[in-house]
Structure 1
Amino acid sequence: MTVLAVAEHRRGELREVSLELLTVARQLADDIEGEVHAAVVGGPVEAYAERLNREGVDTVHTIAEGEEFNHDVYTQAVAQLTEAVDPAVLVMPNSVNGLDYAPAVAGRLDRPLVTDVVDLSYDDELTATRELYGSKVETTIDVHADRAAVTVRPAEWPAAEGTGDATVEAFEVDIDDAAVRSTVTGFEEVGGGDVDITDADVLVSVGRGIGEEENLDIVYDLAEALGATVSASRPLIDNGWLPKDRQVGQSGKVVTPDVYIAIGISGAVQHVAGMKGSDTIVAINDDPNAPIFDIADYGIVDDLFEVVPALTEQFE
């Protein structure tokens, strides 16, 4: 038996979630004593295959169809590969693209689909865990089928590491051009974003505790001293103090920096869902009972208007 993970790329770059999917696939393959197969559709597939050749991956399938994501091409290509490989579990990213083609593939192959999964195991049948009500409740789903499909939430698993010795195989697909009804004509950044906070190694994130927009200056000063990127929780975005592309959280972006400094952020579950995968979390809040301290590696209970300038001075 096998587990098949479908990688994701955008504008010439393999996305980090692709390597996380390999970790998920290896975990499931160990449960069923099977193999891990990875697939990449379109773009410079040989270069992507080299990055996907991580420890624990047995085979990488390359499908040279197009350059960027296309719903109709992906649906046909992934469905045809899945029929050929016949994996026990088809693993896809819970991303804009993944949620576009995953239901179509599952429907075409008559496989049950579980989306936005945060934990998985396989013991005679697949068991998937999802979060509901703003991540306040976890629910466990037993999939009563010998073949299933899932989409996995980014940043819930570590990226696969090491160098593997996978076999790389080109897979020929038969695309019905008449069924390809859409095409990619270009990309437009939402809100004209100047940075991608998902790529930042260090994020200085600010919440409603900052009080007024003019107080953001001390946050920018700290970020400059650290060589960090500024992000924010939703209230500041709603106020128009920072652009939408800087929002961290369930309705914003999921980030996994090396260091995440939360300034004046209480730690609502919607925000935590977007940053809990950070390697090191530092929280600054004057409320000792703020939920952010439950997940912080380091916590400072004090007035941020005293702490942040003091940190800036030390780092300068």
Structure 2
Amino acid sequence: MSVLAVAEHRRGELRDVSYELLTAGRILADATDGDLHVAVVSGDVDAYADKLNRDDVDAIHTVDHGEEFNHDVYVQAVEQLVDSVDPTYVLAPNSVNSLDYVPALAQRLDYPLVTDAVGFDVDDGLTVTRELYGGKAESTIEVAGDRAVLTIRGGEWPASEGTGEAEISAFDADIDESAVRSTVTGFQEVGAGDVDITDADVLVSVGRGIEEEENLDIIHDLADALGATVSASRPIVDNDWLPKDRQVGQSGKVVSPDIYIAIGISGAVQHVAGMKGSEIIIAINDDPSAPIFDIADYGIVDDLFDVVPALTEEFGG
């Protein structure tokens, strides 16, 4: 048995979820006594392969065709890789790109498809865990048959670390150019802002507890003192106090910084879904029963208008 994980890149960079994919793939491969194969399609495949060569990986296959994601190329290339590797399970991120081509791939392979997985178990056949109603409930799906295509949610597994000695081999995919009906002419970031909060090591995130827009100044001051990036929960964005690209949560971005400081954020499940993968979570809230404290590593139950300036003074001095 084996698992084939298809990495993802964008604009010349591997996406963080690709490293999380390796961890999930390794767990699934170990559970089935199999090997973990990784595929990287298009772009600087040799450089990507070197970065993906981690302890978790047994083999890496590169398909050098084009620069950016292309639906028709990916469907053909990954289908041919599946024919060659014969994996029990195919894994991909639950991303815009994967949700573009993976359903077509599953249909062509005649494999069951389960998207947005947050967990799985293979003790007695494959069972996949998904979240419902904004994370308020979980469902488990028993997958019929012994093969499947899965997409996994980012931020649910830690990133693979270390370096490995996996065999890297070029896969000569026979791409039918007449079946490539789309062309990538460029990349345009929709609603792009001045920062990408998914790349931040430290996030200072603010919620409705800040009360007024002008009070955001103390949040920016703390972020400056810490060398951090400011993010927010949905109410702040809905009020147009910060742009959409700063929103963390189910309807925003999924982040996994080294440190996440949640200020005046109650911890609704929709927000937690976007930040629970953070390495260290620090919560500041004057409500001791706020749900955010259930997942926080450190908590301060006090008035944020007293705590935040004090922290800024401490770290800014």
TM over 0.5: yes
Matched with 2:311 is 311
Shift of 1:191: 1.9
Matched with 2:227 is 227
Structure 2 Cα separation of the partners of residues 56 and 289 of structure 1: 40
Shift of 1:186: 1.5
Matched with 1:25 is 25
Greater shift after overlay, 95-104 or 60-69?
Answer: 95-104
Aligned amino acid, residue 42 of structure 1:
S
Structure 2 Cα separation of the partners of residues 106 and 86 of structure 1: 14
Q: Runs (4+) of structure 1 moved beyond 3 Å?
A: none
Give secondary structure in 1 for the equivalent of 2:293. helix
Matched, 1:294 2:307: no
Matched, 1:74 2:74: yes
Shift of 1:239: 1.1
Alignment of 1:84-233 (within 5 A): 84-233=84-233
Aligned amino acid, residue 159 of structure 2:
A
Shift of 1:29: 1.1
TM-score normalised by length of structure 2: 0.98
Matched with 1:55 is 55
Deviation sequence 1:32-68 (CA, Å, 0-9, x none): 1111100000001011111111103111000001100
Shift of 1:142: 1.2
Aligned amino acid, residue 263 of structure 2:
I
Structure 1 Cα separation of the partners of residues 216 and 18 of structure 2: 35
Shift of 1:124: 4.6
1:201 touches 1:259 (CA, 8 Å); kept in 2? yes
1:251 touches 1:270 (CA, 8 Å); kept in 2? yes
RMSD (Å), alpha carbons: 0.9
Structure 1 Cα separation of the partners of residues 311 and 49 of structure 2: 43
Shift of 1:125: 1.9
Runs (5+) with no aligned partner, structure 2: none
Shift of 1:313: 0.5
Shift of 1:96: 0.9
Matched with 2:244 is 244
Structure 2 Cα separation of the partners of residues 242 and 34 of structure 1: 47
Deviation sequence 1:260-283 (CA, Å, 0-9, x none): 000111100000000000011111
Structure 1 Cα separation of the partners of residues 192 and 31 of structure 2: 44
1:190 touches 1:245 (CA, 8 Å); kept in 2? no
Deviation sequence 1:90-130 (CA, Å, 0-9, x none): 00000111111111100111100110001122235211111
Give secondary structure in 2 for the equivalent of 1:134. helix
Structure 2 Cα separation of the partners of residues 286 and 50 of structure 1: 47
Structure 2 Cα separation of the partners of residues 24 and 54 of structure 1: 13
Runs (5+) with no aligned partner, structure 1: none
Shift of 1:178: 1.9
Q: What is the total number of aligned residue pairs between the two structures?
A: 316
Deviation sequence 1:194-250 (CA, Å, 0-9, x none): 111000000000011111111100000000000000000111111111111101000
Give secondary structure in 2 for the equivalent of 1:17. helix
Shift of 1:82: 1.1
Shift of 1:139: 1.1
Aligned amino acid, residue 60 of structure 2:
V
TM-score normalised by length of structure 1: 0.98
